Amino acid sequence: MLEFRKKILINSVGCFVLFFAAITPFVRATGWFLFLLYGLVNWILIRRVSRPLQQIFDAITPYQEEALLPRIVLNEGEFSKLASTLNSLNQRVQKQLDTAVNQQKETEGILDSLGEGVIAFDPTAKVTFANRVATQMLSVERGKTLGASGLEEKCHELVLQALQTAERTTESWTEKGLRYLELTSAPLVHQSGAILVLQDKTADRKIVEMGKDFIANASHELRTPITVLRGFAETLSDFPKLSPKVLAEIATKIVRTSERLDKLIKSLLTLADIENVPESRFVPIELVSLAENCKHLLLTAHPEVRLVLATYAPQVYVRGDPDLVDLSLMNLLENAVRYSPAPAEISLSLQECEGGIALRVADRGIGIPPQDLPHIFGRFYTVDKARSRKSGGSGLGLSIVKTVVEKHGWSISATSEMHQGSVFTVQISLC
């Protein structure tokens, strides 16, 4: 601002000197007086004009490196309009910056809430943004490129490919068969970088594999009774004059095999129906009376069984589908009878626990080997296949129980000791 004043003063004095030189012959006597008077007036005018500019300059100078300017207070003179204009522009810039910051926060919040990992890169393949899921999957640091080993190296290659070819690329990645990822890289508009999306497909892959296993197991289980029935039918066709004793034996085996096949198909249909049951069928259930009813049904079918029922309260209410809960409890009780030496000793108890109720079915049967415990709720999985076939089991009972329990939002677990028995516990949340 001082330089500004000097320039104005020098230019004014120069003009005056030229003017004074031109009129010197006429006003030599008063020239020096006029010169001094002109300089004084000129200095006063320059100071008056430059003072508000100096105030604006002093207010702006400390904020040269900042994004926004402070409010300039100047309430008089023509330069107050300039100060008002600068203040107005500053407010507009502030609003635009606030809007941009809020939009950025909103975008980052949306990306953080996604179930997929999202990483943004600049044109040099350096990370500019990574959401929460991405930071859990990879070792990501802003301003740096991805690592050079394993999954990070593969992601880096896909990002470079997107930057170089400007095309979208999708590839799969498997980590030791435990986790399945789908990696998608795509260029950003105007060649401003690239984006990488990591989707965890482990659950989808497990569902597909479970579907394949289910079809394979169902085909295998259905093939056996169908083969038996076909064999008996061919025997009757090839040897029409069999003795009554042999015919009676064949007829008995056909009936037994047909019953096993019918039970297997019903179990498969039951599984499909359970998974499609709407929650509108859930109503308050009184567990004690339901358990007593299951006890009565079991003793009617197996009078020799010793079943003890223990409850912590005369009435216990939970929310669920009565038919499905009854079905799952009967399956647990039937399973206890099937894998216990006669007469089976079973205890059924309802115990209060933290967060709900623990329903336990305990037996003193043959037990479950430790290596089989993680698989007993799988479809068609049986610990003792010979015993299961002999008793007519299909290997779907515990699978049905687990499906019912999970449909209600509960959980089930099992503990066992060989030749000592097993305990199945259903954790039930109160309604």
What is the 3 state secondary structure string of the chain? CHHHHHHHHHHHHHHHHHHHHHHCCCCCCCHHHHHHHHHHHHHHHHHHHHHHHHHHHHHHHHHCCCCCCCCCCCCCCCHHHHHHHHHHHHHHHHHHHHHHHHHHHHHHHHHHHCCCEEEEECCCCCEEEECHHHHHHCCCCCCCCCCCCHHHHHHHHHHHHHHHHCCCEEEEEEECCCEEEEEEEEECHHHCCEEEEEEECHHHHHHHHHHHHHHHHHHHHHHHHHHHHHHHHHHHHHCCCCCHHHHHHHHHHHHHHHHHHHHHHHHHHHHHHHHCCCHHHCEEEEHHHHHHHHHHHHHHHCCCCEEEEEECCCCCEEEECHHHHHHHHHHHHHHHHHCCCCCCEEEEEEEEECCEEEEEEEECCCCCCCCCHHHCCCCCCCCCHHHHHHHCCCCCHHHHHHHHHHHCCCEEEEEEECCCEEEEEEEEECC
Kindly indicate whether the domain formed by 206-274 is annotated with CATH number 1.10.287.130. yes
The rounded distance, in Å, linking the Cα atoms of 234 and 420 is 45
CATH fold of 279-429:
Heat Shock Protein 90 (3.30.565)
Residue type for 75, please?
N
Q: What is the pTM of this model?
A: 0.49
State residue 1's pLDDT score. 47
The rounded distance, in Å, linking the Cα atoms of 411 and 295 is 22
The rounded distance, in Å, linking the Cα atoms of 120 and 194 is 6
CATH tag, 115-200: 3.30.450.20
State residue 260's pLDDT score. 73
The rounded distance, in Å, linking the Cα atoms of 57 and 72 is 10
Mean pLDDT for each consecutive 10-residue tract of the chain (431 residues)? 51 55 53 61 64 64 55 62 72 79 77 82 89 84 81 88 89 81 88 88 76 67 77 83 84 81 73 73 89 88 89 87 87 88 89 86 88 80 55 68 87 88 88 59
Write the burial class of residue 205 (CB in 10 Å: 0-12 exposed, 13-18 middle, 19+ buried).
Answer: middle
State residue 241's pLDDT score. 80
State residue 210's pLDDT score. 66
State residue 16's pLDDT score. 55
